[in-house]
């Protein structure tokens, strides 16, 4: 059993924290809106009044927040995670943020005598609950190996990709493909539908074809019915694509399909779909094609 902390108990963060509790670890948690974490408190998570309190109570502190600005808000300042860190502690950020900002934060953690790992995940609520989540990790080898048993309680595949910031870069490289795949899948479904094939039939055929990646298999059915709670909404996906486009500019890597998909995400937002799962790219494209839901 380890004394763990978790800051940011959203859709994914809360379920990761629950897996850590179920693995026998002690978890102290913090979320900006406490009421959203009440079910976790009922399940055994101890409540920390601020990110600093969580980090003080834990040997290993996790965070998983929406963007770079949110990470800075929970990590810095008198009540931030940094203020609660000390020698020998590990801070693991699972957010998808700017690689440069992640490296800068890692330097601040090192100055406190602690180690930071960036450890975003690849997968969704479904893969997490199935125990199939994979984790990419950036940071020093020794810290990665210390944290590995805890990370494996979250997902079985833990890959050390290199120094601080590189796991976030890898995550950005991964997520751009999710959105591009979803848009291509939507194009195929709509082309079949407007040709006279029932949408459900087109989805069934595509989900059993060679184009059915794991992501398409679990998200493709969302073109028939959106989930009650977005797994990863349009706003969050566009944040990641904008990070990808910026990283592409910095590294001189052209990202033409990412750029086109980003414009479709803007279209979806303009249509009022910002809070829907990013599978709502289908809805935006369908409206443009004159196809009713």
Of residues 18, 89, 112, 171, which has the active-site annotation? Answer: 171
Q: 3-state SS of the chain: helix, strand, coil percent to 5? A: 55, 15, 30
Q: Extract the tokens encoding 229.
A: 């709670």
SS3 3: strand
Element holding 161 (H helix, E strand): strand 157-162
Neighbours of 44 (CB within 10 A): 13
For residue 118, the cross-strand partners are 93, 138
SS3 170: helix
171 is catalytic: yes
SS3 7: strand
Strand pairing category for 121-122 and 134-138? antiparallel
SS3 135: strand
List, by residue number, the catalytic residues.
171
């Amino acid at each position: 059993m380890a004394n763990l902390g978790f800051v940011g108990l959203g859709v994914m963060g809360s379920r990761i924290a629950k897996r850590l509790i179920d693995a026998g670890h002690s978890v102290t948690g913090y979320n900006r809106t406490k009421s959203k974490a009440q079910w976790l408190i009922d399940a055994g998570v101890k409540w920390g009044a601020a990110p600093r309190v969580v980090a003080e109570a834990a040997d290993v502190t996790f965070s998983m927040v929406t963007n770079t600005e949110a990470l800075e808000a929970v990590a810095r300042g008198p009540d931030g995670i940094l203020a609660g860190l000390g020698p020998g502690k590990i801070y693991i950020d699972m957010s998808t943020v700017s690689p440069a900002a992640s490296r800068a934060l890692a330097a601040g953690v090192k100055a406190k005598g602690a180690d930071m790992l960036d450890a975003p995940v690849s997968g969704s609520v479904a893969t997490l609950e199935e125990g199939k989540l994979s984790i990419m990790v950036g940071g020093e080898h020794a810290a990665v190996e210390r944290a590995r048993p805890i990370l494996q309680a979250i997902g079985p595949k833990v890959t050390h990709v290199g120094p601080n910031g590189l796991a976030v870069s890898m995550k950005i490289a991964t997520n751009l493909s999710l959105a591009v795949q979803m848009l291509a899948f939507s194009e195929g479904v709509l082309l079949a539908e407007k040709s006279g094939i029932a949408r459900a039939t087109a989805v069934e055929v595509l989900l059993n074809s060679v184009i059915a990646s794991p992501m398409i298999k679990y998200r493709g059915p969302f073109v028939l019915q959106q989930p009650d709670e977005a797994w990863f909404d349009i706003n969050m996906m566009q944040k990641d694509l904008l990070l990808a486009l910026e990283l592409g500019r910095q590294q001189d890597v052209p990202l033409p399909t990412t750029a086109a998909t980003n414009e479709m995400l803007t279209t979806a937002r303009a249509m009022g779909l910002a809070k829907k799962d990013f599978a709502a790219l289908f809805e935006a494209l369908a409206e443009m094609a004159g196809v009713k839901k």
